[in-house]
Homo-oligomer: A and B are copies of this chain.
């Protein structure tokens, strides 16, 4: 499976011309067709080549999204929802052209229900903007994929990140959605009740559907009280295997760790170079605990004991906010730090997730593959969930390197699938993973296609993504 296998989407030139005219007239300055604007809306943090849309529109309300979708539906023109462009698998590319629907002006926080621990936001609100807004309420939204992504985009890719091990992913934290469907109708998928058995779970169907079934125009999200106490630290291990075994024991013991992140030796070297962290160049776990003062101390102590059993340590932890922030800032900069290992290179990020019992084995085989193939590819992992990323650094001007990287990714994805895992833990399918979906899910892909055909019979919502047609 290489990118060149991703099927083309036919351009409907006549329809596109008609929609360009309609949107120009209706949205004026809020509709742009300049080349750099269009390129920007297809270029994401990925090595996948840009496929620009024909125009970019900036709606401000659900009703305007409905108007845009109706125009696109009438002329059978693709419409591709866009958040911040931080997705990694070509999600916002426009293989058949069409309209990029940029949600950045839909950035209002519509309600914060502090008593109910929820809020309602428009899709263009970023996770950092939401947490800034919440600062005085004692509440926070925990999902943190690293990038300051939009919440609509995070829902669309079923994003998660470092603290999913405790707080879940967007799947668990989106309570309800408003979405515009392919026929221009707007629906609300659920009430604000914390649980419900009222019919099919359309919320979860839209979360992770990458804009192919509907365009999200508002989200009801769960919030959490900011923990009374937070402690965290870094623990070195003699091997990746030892670190993974410590993770397994931690999870099995039921220690409610808020974050538990693996960084392999090469990635530690990159972090040290980039962020001046004073740690050994050996595999490390970055951990964080949330709870009461007594609770986090108890958790940290239990974790330290487990780590020692596997030869890890010393485990130095701190409750001081500044020190923790420095650590996690470094962890979050892993992507950029990695790029310094090979200046000028582009990174191809992988995203497999396996049952935790297979994690050490999966990482070990992957490290062997990296060594054997002569790649430069540091590893970081949300290991409490069995999810890890490698960043393959390659010279985009060398087709052989790209082919080698794709071969490596293909082997990695198939390895994870063979171990009962998935080719994508949190990045989504987009264009990059389309070729692996059937390997992973077999005939379930046909059921997905039936749903897509039923809800978007003209295939105008982000065509050429997730499902090979």
Contact = CB atoms under 8 A, between A and B. Distances in A.
A327 interface: no
A425 B207 contact: no
B113 A195 contact: no
A251 B113 CA distance: 14
A65 to B, nearest CB: 15
A466 B292 contact: no
List the number of copies, as a whole number.
2
Interface stretch (A55-63, A181-189, A366-374): A181-189
Interface in A341-387: 351, 353-357, 385-387
A321 interface: no
A186 to B, nearest CB: 7
Interface stretch (A71-79, A115-123, A264-272, A402-410): A115-123
A113 B452 CA distance: 34
Interface in A413-429: 416-417, 420-429
A455 B444 contact: no
Interface in A172-197: 172, 181, 185-197
B117 A195 contact: no
A176 to B, nearest CB: 10
Interface stretch (A8-16, A98-106, A157-165, A330-338): A157-165
B225 A437 contact: no
A252 interface: yes
A295 B200 CA distance: 38
B116 A186 contact: no
Contacts of A225: 252-254
A469 interface: no
B189 A117 contact: no
Interface of A: 113-118, 157-160, 164, 168-169, 171-172, 181, 185-202, 204-205, 207-209, 213, 224-225, 227-228, 248, 251-254, 256, 292, 294-295, 298, 351, 353-357, 385-387, 416-417, 420-429, 433, 437, 440-448, 450-455, 466-467
Rank and list the top 4 A-B pairs by shortest CB-CB distance, nearest first: A454-B454, A204-B204, A115-B357, A196-B422
Given A193-B354, A194-B386, 12 more contacts: A113-B355, A188-B444, A191-B440, A193-B385, A193-B421, A197-B429, A199-B444, A199-B448, A199-B466, A202-B447, A205-B205, A450-B454
